[in-house]
Amino acid sequence: MAPPIWLDDQGGRQPTRPCAKCGKDEPVRRLRFDHLRMIGWKALGTVQTVEWCGHGQEFIPVPDDDGWCWMIPVLGEAA
pLDDT, tens digit, 9 for 90 and up, residues 33-60:
888 888 888 888 888 888 888 988 888 8
* Residue 12 located in a structural domain: no
> Is residue 78 predicted with pLDDT exceeding 70?
no
What's the pLDDT at 79? 58
For 1-79, where are the alpha helices, taking DSSP H only?
33-38
Phi-psi region of 26 (alpha: psi -120 to 50; beta: other; left: phi over 0): beta
What's the pLDDT at 12? 92
* Residue 14 located in a structural domain: no
Average pLDDT over residues 17-46: 86
| CA–CA separation, 56 and 75 (whole Å) | 12
* Residue 59 located in a structural domain: yes
> Is residue 77 predicted with pLDDT exceeding 80?
no
* Residue 23 located in a structural domain: no
Which residue segment(s) compose the domain that 54 sits in? 30-79
DSSP secondary structure letter of residue 5: -
